[in-house]
Structure 1
């Protein structure tokens, strides 16, 4: 077969852009396909707009403490039009990094249309058929909408339309007490909305319960209400949304569904060519290879953790494997994540529960509170703690709750993996979005001339020619 490209990447979110850009920087001919907005969910209706909203909410919260540190502030006056503008200004500021123009400058051929995979090495886009020895699927995920009776007849919000609201909700009812639900509960409450969170299980269920308890206490103190139970039925009448939870009815002006994510992997022709699917995404091995030779799946579309920094990590791994022929297995031993409530909840590696399940009595836990941290005391922000999970002296994981604690994870990433060189730092998984990412960026910049130097590029292009010839 005569190939049009060396690699075809379907999806212009964090995973696809990292894979496509990496391959292009090694000099490969890359086709990058994205039918919707460049930047994917994270830029357009995920991490970026949510953190922008939380920043506005924090400003309002600070002003509600009229006198602190000897400084008196005026009570806040929230204008939703201004908050809305700030959110979309943040998106617009970051959009050029993910733009079609930037990736064309890198050397990608960008197609803004829907893709259909018609063979192990063939993709139809528009009226054209593209071919390549390697295909990378990076089609992301979408909100998981639970089967609640009446939901289809009721206007409801997800993260995909939440940030386009033309008005601040009077009373936002949130179904789901995970990361999105808790962040938006605090954010909208601080901006002035009444908030009720409905959750049948544990709040922020993958996090350390002691850390979650601190956050729940803070949110309750700010006026967020929690209802334990499953949303069974929804109806809307005269501008009021009514959610039935057991014998209790919760009423509000707006309804947000925040019950997780579903892989966006159907409708692309993958099952028709034999790509095996799992319960919630494409099945892949440790190298992100699917059941069809030459096809990879990275990011939210495959089974596994769904985080922006995971998508970038997998995209870079696959780019290295395709360009240099180096097998790159994923390593989740130092996987971080952060919930950006205030206080933040940050985690890396094993939770205490996971560690005890695996190592039993060999596990010890060391806890330090911020009550003895002098910087925290000086700033009157000593609420929270750090819990270190150990096997002997080896760090297995860390759970932290407190002010800006997402920035404290980096040294534990190095402790868990046992890697502390600049090269290791440049390839570490850093929680997104945190300021600690600048450390990784600087370390990577130190190695960039070597990684993308003449010899690696020549080797990558030689491998690409061999694939085209013998695939």
Structure 2
């Protein structure tokens, strides 16, 4: 089928996760005729199986940990009793209370036509929509945004089909059926998801083993960040098996629990479990949308250019499907470019700005970073100066019992221009925002130092690390002259 002379829509968006919702809203805001198609739950993975439920679970675990450690503040409380069904009820309630933000009704009010059904591209301009209980119908569009997200990666390990394994998508329904947290929980994968869930379930009463093939947790983070996270998890009873590769599974006959064979530098070991969660990353969700027939997908991946365009420039992708970062805030960021380039790309197009992509890991203490880490700068041959501030010296952290962590700032040698920041500490995900803003606006550490920060707050740590940089770059010659001047003034 050739390109239509007329189109039913200006733009069609497939997928109502973060990228799809933002892309559809932006399109409607500039008065385009837009249809948003979703076959599952509105809000996508983030609302239903990702960010929202995991952070609700983490908060429950944090409350339990606070009760368990209250004695350090002079408060005597008994060992907390974990009502696991109530924990899972809080998770469900959190989703339900946020659902209206992503609902069909809200986006319809914003001018988006929302269609619940399965979408498939039958040619580069035509989308087939299959709805339950009705016949297929088709719409044409001048531009199409693919925002189908990603799904948990499941490795082809021998024996995996003999165990009732879980992923970040399936664990919520499974654990909602349990009276208590799993006794022996195995987590395969030491990235952000694995670390967050390991700490949360350990605090909720599980005996947790976390396995990572690399020699350290969070291998993409700064090495000191990785070490700090390992210490935090081990201090709460999580068994860490880094440098261990999964070889095969052996499930129990009843389908519950099993054993995993691991290989390390010394040989093979076996670990048993009641429940196992695979946290091995996520892969683009490309199947079932007609993308292979159009030649858009290659080896399970969907290549896009700097403008988020596929091989057909009017078909764009955003969010986890497009990569390279699988963050909700990146999905929303890309959605603006996808919508604008889809609607106005023939006049003016915009390349996605990936220069400053902050990230956070919501363990305790939190981890946050932006720009280059020390390891990345070294690998890339980028010259840098390193300035540190230890949060155990911060007044607010001391009184809050959160005197753990640090801030590392990389700057251009001899200048206050920020190349990257890594933070470990209470509210690190909030603290990083000031550095992201400064880097975005081209401001250096001197500007942060000259900004008043409320006392006592965790945010003062940002000012203090800037002060450490300033002291290291004090004009020694001028200071010697001033010393002589003041001596002369004393007579």
State the TM bucket, normalised to the shorter chain. Answer: 0.7 to 0.9
Change (3 A) 1:317 1:293: closer
Deviation of 1:358 after TM superposition, in Å, equals: 3.2
Do residues 329 (structure 1) and 331 (structure 2) align? no
Mapped contact 1:16–1:315 kept (Cα < 8 A): yes
Unaligned runs of 5+ in 1: 421-435, 437-471
Do residues 159 (structure 1) and 168 (structure 2) align? yes
- In structure 2, what is the equivalent of residue 13 of structure 1? 17
Mapped contact 2:248–2:262 kept (Cα < 8 A): yes
Do residues 404 (structure 1) and 424 (structure 2) align? no
Q: C-alpha distance in 1, partners of 2:334/2:328?
A: 10
Mapped contact 2:27–2:339 kept (Cα < 8 A): yes
Do residues 367 (structure 1) and 388 (structure 2) align? yes
Do residues 79 (structure 1) and 92 (structure 2) align? no
Deviations along 1:183-202, whole A, 9 cap, x unmatched? 00000000000100111113
Q: How does 1:273-292 map to 2 (within 5 A)?
A: 273-277=294-298, 281-292=301-312
Q: C-alpha distance in 1, partners of 2:67/2:365?
A: 17
Q: C-alpha distance in 1, partners of 2:410/2:303?
A: 31
Q: C-alpha distance in 1, partners of 2:146/2:37?
A: 10
Change (3 A) 1:145 1:102: same
Q: Which moved more, 1:42-51 or 1:208-217?
A: 208-217
Q: C-alpha distance in 2, partners of 1:187/1:338?
A: 16
Mapped contact 2:11–2:343 kept (Cα < 8 A): no
Mapped contact 2:361–2:367 kept (Cα < 8 A): yes
Q: C-alpha distance in 2, partners of 1:209/1:98?
A: 38
Deviation of 1:328 after TM superposition, in Å, equals: 2.2
Q: Which moved more, 1:133-142 or 1:260-269?
A: 260-269
Do residues 268 (structure 1) and 285 (structure 2) align? no
Deviations along 1:348-390, whole A, 9 cap, x unmatched? 1111122233344x21111111022111112121110000011
- In structure 2, what is the equivalent of residue 455 of structure 1? none
- In structure 2, what is the equivalent of residue 379 of structure 1? 400
Mapped contact 2:145–2:339 kept (Cα < 8 A): no
Question: How many residue pairs were aligned?
Answer: 419
Q: How does 1:301-450 map to 2 (within 5 A)?
A: 301-325=321-345, 326-360=348-382, 362-392=383-413, 393-418=416-441
Do residues 180 (structure 1) and 180 (structure 2) align? no
Q: C-alpha distance in 2, partners of 1:106/1:355?
A: 44
- In structure 2, what is the equivalent of residue 204 of structure 1? 218
Task: Return the structure number with greater relative CO, CA threshold 8 A, min gap 6.
Answer: 1
Choose from 283, 287, 294 the match for 2:314.
294
Root mean square deviation, CA, Å = 1.6
Choose from 206, 214, 219 the match for 1:193.
206
Mapped contact 2:144–2:342 kept (Cα < 8 A): no
Mapped contact 2:163–2:257 kept (Cα < 8 A): no
Q: TM-score, normalised by structure 2?
A: 0.83
- In structure 1, what is the equivalent of residue 138 of structure 2? 129
Deviation of 1:333 after TM superposition, in Å, equals: 1.7
Deviations along 1:265-303, whole A, 9 cap, x unmatched? 1221112123253x6631111111111120001011124
Q: C-alpha distance in 1, partners of 2:380/2:280?
A: 29
- In structure 1, what is the equivalent of residue 446 of structure 2? none
Mapped contact 1:333–1:416 kept (Cα < 8 A): no
Choose from 29, 35, 50 the match for 2:33.
29
Mapped contact 1:113–1:125 kept (Cα < 8 A): yes
Deviation of 1:419 after TM superposition, in Å, equals: 5.2
Mapped contact 1:212–1:345 kept (Cα < 8 A): no
Unaligned runs of 5+ in 2: 131-135, 444-458, 460-491
Q: TM-score, normalised by structure 1?
A: 0.86
Deviation of 1:214 after TM superposition, in Å, equals: 1.1
Q: Which moved more, 1:290-299 or 1:161-170?
A: 161-170
Choose from 220, 240, 261 the match for 1:226.
240
Deviation of 1:26 after TM superposition, in Å, equals: 1.4
Secondary structure class of the residue paired with 2:53: helix
Deviations along 1:29-65, whole A, 9 cap, x unmatched? 1010000111000000000000000000001111112
Q: C-alpha distance in 2, partners of 1:333/1:389?
A: 15
Q: Which 4+ residue blocks in structure 1 deviate beyond 6 angstroms?
A: none
Mapped contact 1:290–1:296 kept (Cα < 8 A): yes
Q: C-alpha distance in 2, partners of 1:6/1:346?
A: 39
Change (3 A) 1:68 1:303: closer
Q: Which moved more, 1:406-415 or 1:235-244?
A: 235-244
Do residues 117 (structure 1) and 121 (structure 2) align? yes
Choose from 44, 52, 57 the match for 2:61.
57
Secondary structure class of the residue paired with 2:9: coil
Secondary structure class of the residue paired with 1:155: coil
